[in-house]
Structure formats: C-alpha cells, structure tokens
Amino acid sequence: MKAANLKIVLEYLSQNRLMALSTVSNGRPWSATVFFAFDSKGNIYFYSRPDTKHAKHILKNSFVSVAINHYQKKSNVMGLQMVGRVKRVLEKNFKKDYALYRKRFPWADDFKNDHELFMITPTEIHYVDEKRFRHFFRVRMK
C-alpha cells in the first residue's frame, strides 16, 4: 500500500474501536461486532472466544470482510471496508501482538482465560470519506 494511503487508513482506524466482522461457512454468512486494534502495517487484531460462531467459521474459511463506520454529527460520510485473511496469532508473536491490543483495551486481561487473539491481514481496502475525496464513492486504498 502506498505510504500516503496507509497513513489515511491508520488515521481512520485510530478514531474507531468497533468493527463488523463478517465470516462465511457452508455458504451461510455471519456478522459480529468486535473491538479491534491495529499495527503500523494496517493489520487488524481482535480478541474473541474460540466457541463463537465467527471463530468457528474462521477455522473452516479464513477469508473475512470488515466494515468500520464512524458516526459523524454532520453530514460527512466516512467508512472503511476491507477483505482479508484471518488467523490466530501464533505463540511466538503473541506477546508483541497482544501488547498492541491491550494498550487499546486494558480490560483484555480480564478475558485471558477464555479468549484468543486473531489477526486479519488485509488484501483489499476501500475507504469512503466525503470530506477528503469530495464524493460518496469508495476509494481503493490497497
């Protein structure tokens, strides 16, 4: 991703905390709202129990989509959609990746016994920002 686009995406991610995560298994879609953190490359991290429907779907199909929408009191339309692959964070990376998540959500420690950390690597990112781009159309960032 171009550095300028990455900067825009990271700025938008920093202003939001919740995302809609969509998964599919056996041709059946599912969406869940989860808290997220992100790294400097634009990878997205979320914390979830392995017995949730979306976590079970991920075991069968690692492709996911994400929507992050930012409520604006004025008429400015903003939103980010992405497609990517998700995986559980490996033990060797857990400490570093969990630190990113915990920095944003200190309460995460309360769920260490029954949650796992997942990472989404985006393969496609689209961004809508009426103020920045002067229109309602999505702009492909990656």
Predicted local distance difference test score (pLDDT) of residue 78: 81
pLDDT at 93: 93
Number of domains in the chain: 1
pLDDT at 62 over 90: yes
Residue 127 DSSP class: E
Of 138 and 36, the structure prediction assigns the larger pLDDT to: 36
Q: Give pLDDT, residue 138.
A: 64
Task: Return d(Cα 86, Cα 118) in angstroms, integer.
Answer: 7
Residue 55's CB is within 10 A of a number of other CB atoms, namely 19
Q: Which domain holds residue 69?
A: 3-140
pLDDT at 139 > cutoff 90: no
Give the CATH number of the domain where residue 36 resides.
2.30.110.10
Asked if residues 24 and 61 have their Cβ atoms less than 8 Å apart, the reply is yes
Predicted TM-score (pTM) above 0.75: yes
pLDDT tens sequence across 77-131 = 788 999 999 999 999 999 999 999 999 999 999 998 999 999 999 999 998 877 7
